[in-house]
């Protein structure tokens, strides 16, 4: 049966049978980006996002695979006489046999996207539990979490070759400078947390909605031994972040509240991390048991 509609519509319908969790870039934006149909300012924004978001970079590989298959099929179909051409959103002459080939490529790519998205664990519904009772903040001497050791949050700078981010190696963007966020994170990479706090502070003034920048600034302040100052940027990261960034921000915010003696808020954040059911769930469950045991002995 011949597919109905354009390949772009078929790709979008197949890939969206199961919604993505916390979307960043969608398939339409990536298709337009790799075909060079966006304005230069929009290209820069997507380029920066792909350099910093592993989820969207993974999705972009599926989109590039589809576009590459379409291009190869079009090359193999050149010069075949008597074939009836059809319009394509990618500017290719597409005959009936190519439509069938493209349909199989779309199905394979969509199946990969659905499998990749389906492998993620969904966050369970919040349990119906009693509202936590406020816990009085202990004094500095009574707080066993005051000297809690904070592990440095993992950060991997964008090291993907430019031809992995772009559809054509000879794109004029191939020699772009590192993004402003990547440059602001350089002190953090070399464990200069005071300079990281300064640079990320300047960056967030110009980019107040950049959740990752707020997050790493909060972690830098924690590692500098300034938990009270770390609360605001970490709370902002929770409010503005999505997916993995939000989970990590809640995890570090819970530890921050413990160091400042606010057990009630620490337990709230740990409960949220557990409900997310991500990579930090087991750590949050273990820490929550310890905190709850101390809280219960003080009541």
- Which CATH number do you get for residue 187? 1.25.40.10
What pLDDT sits at residue 162? 46
195 occurs within a structural domain: yes
The Cα-based distances of 2 to 86, 111, 115 in angstroms read 12, 19, 25
169 occurs within a structural domain: no
- Contact between residue 220 and residue 232 where contact means Cβ atoms under 8 Å apart: no
- Residue 149 pLDDT grade (very low, low, confident, very high; cuts 50, 70, 90): very high
20-38 pLDDT, tens digit per residue, is 444 577 778 877 877 877 7
What pLDDT sits at residue 168? 45
What pLDDT sits at residue 18? 40
Residues forming beta bridges with residue 94, ordered by sequence position: 86
What average pLDDT does range 87-105 have in this prediction?
42
Please give the residue range of the domain that contains residue 64: 7-118
Number of structural domains (the chain) is 2
Mean residue pLDDT across the chain: 74
28 occurs within a structural domain: yes
94-103, 125-134, 273-282, 289-298, range with the lowest pLDDT: 94-103
233 occurs within a structural domain: yes
- Residue 9 pLDDT grade (very low, low, confident, very high; cuts 50, 70, 90): low
- Contact between residue 101 and residue 74 where contact means Cβ atoms under 8 Å apart: no
188-223 pLDDT, tens digit per residue, is 999 999 999 999 999 999 999 999 999 999 999 999
Q: Is 210 left (phi over 0), alpha (psi -120 to 50) or beta?
A: beta
Higher pLDDT, 293 or 176: 293
Last residue of a domain, one of 100, 118, 136: 118
* 288 pLDDT more than 80: yes
* Same domain flag for 114 and 183: no
What pLDDT sits at residue 282? 94
As to burial, measured by CB atoms within 10 angstroms (0-12 exposed, 13-18 middle, 19+ buried), residue 93 is middle
* 167 pLDDT more than 80: no
69 occurs within a structural domain: yes
- Residue 139 pLDDT grade (very low, low, confident, very high; cuts 50, 70, 90): very low
The Cα-based distances of 48 to 52, 96, 99 in angstroms read 7, 39, 34
242-256 pLDDT, tens digit per residue, is 999 999 999 999 999
102 occurs within a structural domain: yes
* Distance (Å, whole) CA 76 – CA 252: 54
* Same domain flag for 276 and 189: yes
- Of the chain, the percentage scoring pLDDT greater than 90 comes to 40
- Contact between residue 241 and residue 252 where contact means Cβ atoms under 8 Å apart: no
* 277 pLDDT more than 80: yes
Last residue of a domain, one of 84, 100, 118: 118
């Amino acid at each position: 049966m011949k597919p109905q509609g354009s390949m772009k519509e078929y790709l979008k319908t197949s890939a969206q049978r199961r919604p993505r969790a916390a979307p960043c870039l969608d398939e339409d934006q990536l298709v337009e980006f790799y075909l060079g149909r966006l304005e230069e300012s929009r290209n820069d924004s997507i380029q920066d996002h792909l350099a910093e978001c592993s989820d969207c970079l993974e999705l972009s590989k599926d989109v590039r695979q589809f576009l590459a298959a379409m291009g190869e099929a079009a090359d193999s179909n050149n010069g075949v006489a008597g074939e009836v051409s059809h319009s394509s959103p990618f500017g290719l002459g597409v005959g009936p046999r190519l439509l069938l080939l493209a349909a199989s490529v779309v199905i394979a790519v969509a199946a990969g996207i659905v499998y990749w998205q389906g492998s993620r664990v969904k966050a369970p519904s919040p349990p119906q539990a009693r509202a936590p009772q406020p816990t009085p903040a202990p004094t500095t001497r009574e707080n066993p979490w005051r000297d809690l050791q904070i592990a440095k949050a993992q950060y991997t700078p964008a090291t993907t070759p430019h031809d992995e981010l772009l559809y054509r190696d000879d794109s004029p963007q191939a020699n772009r400078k590192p993004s402003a966020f990547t440059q602001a994170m350089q002190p953090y990479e070399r464990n200069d947390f005071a300079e990281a706090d300064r640079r990320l502070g300047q960056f967030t003034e110009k980019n107040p909605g950049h959740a990752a920048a707020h997050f790493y600034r909060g972690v830098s302040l924690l590692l500098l031994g300034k938990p009270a100052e770390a609360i605001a940027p970490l709370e902002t990261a929770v409010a503005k972040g999505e997916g993995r960034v939000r989970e990590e921000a809640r995890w570090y915010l819970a530890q921050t509240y413990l160091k400042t003696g606010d057990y009630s808020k620490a337990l709230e954040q740990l409960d949220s991390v557990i409900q997310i059911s991500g990579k930090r769930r087991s750590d949050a469950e273990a820490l929550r048991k310890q905190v709850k045991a101390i809280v219960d002995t003080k009541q």
